[in-house]
């Protein structure tokens, strides 16, 4: 079939396809030219001397070398005097002796802490003042090393004669 017998519609379709191919080839060449210079540089991030991310390369004249003595290799040991290991005081507000657990209401913060009877160091009843430490239990914070706080015996009023 020769082109002389093509209909107007077929000629238009052929022209559009040819124009699409040319446009696609132009875009491909433009992309090749811009790809070398622009896009990759936009994606690079640098870290400056303060540890912040920037889009400009760092100034090497400001570079500092760390002292070997300032580098800590391990985690420092905690003292028992730090706040995480402090002995706390509270009152045993709930005790289920059958199931073997209870809750201590911490003095000051009012935080309720779970306690299991195996962590009792003394014979403790509901309502007793206790001292304890808080640690991680199976389901969250839990009290351990629970001891009854030694209450001062009531002093008899002094006689003023």
The per-residue pLDDT for 151 is 67
The pTM assigned to this predicted structure is: 0.43
CATH class in words for 83-148: mainly beta
Per-residue pLDDT in tens (0 to 9) along the chain, 161 residues:
556 677 889 899 999 999 999 999 999 988 877 766 555 667 788 888 777 888 888 877 877 787 888 887 777 666 555 555 578 999 999 999 999 999 999 988 888 999 999 999 888 999 999 999 999 888 888 999 999 987 654 444 545 44
The per-residue pLDDT for 84 is 53
The per-residue pLDDT for 35 is 63
The per-residue pLDDT for 102 is 95
Q: What is the 3-state secondary structure (H, E, C) of the chain?
A: CCHHHCCHHHHHHHHHHHHHHHHHHHHHHHHHHHHHHHHHHHHCCEECCCCCEECCCCCHHHCCCCCHHHCCCCCCCCCCCCHHHCCEEEEEEEEECCCCEEEEEECCCCCEEEEEHHHECCCCCCCCEEEEEEEECCCCEEEEEEEECCCCCCCCCCCCC
Domain ranges of the chain: 9-60, 83-148
The per-residue pLDDT for 109 is 86
């Amino acid at each position: 079939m020769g082109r002389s017998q093509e209909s107007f519609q077929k000629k238009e379709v052929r022209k559009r396809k040819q124009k699409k191919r040319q446009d696609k080839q132009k875009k491909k060449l433009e992309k090749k030219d811009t790809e070398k210079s622009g896009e990759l540089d936009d994606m690079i991030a640098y870290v400056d001397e303060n540890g912040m991310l920037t889009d400009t390369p760092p100034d090497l004249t400001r570079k500092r070398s760390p002292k070997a003595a300032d580098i800590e290799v391990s985690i420092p040991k905690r003292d028992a005097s730090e706040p995480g290991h402090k002995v706390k005081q509270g009152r045993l507000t709930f005790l289920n002796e059958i199931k073997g657990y209870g809750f201590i209401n911490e003095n000051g913060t009012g935080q309720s802490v779970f306690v299991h009877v195996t962590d009792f160091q003394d014979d403790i009843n509901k309502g007793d003042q206790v001292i304890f430490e808080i640690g991680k239990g199976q389901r969250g914070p839990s009290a351990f090393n629970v001891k009854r706080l030694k209450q001062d015996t009531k002093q008899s009023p002094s006689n003023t004669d």
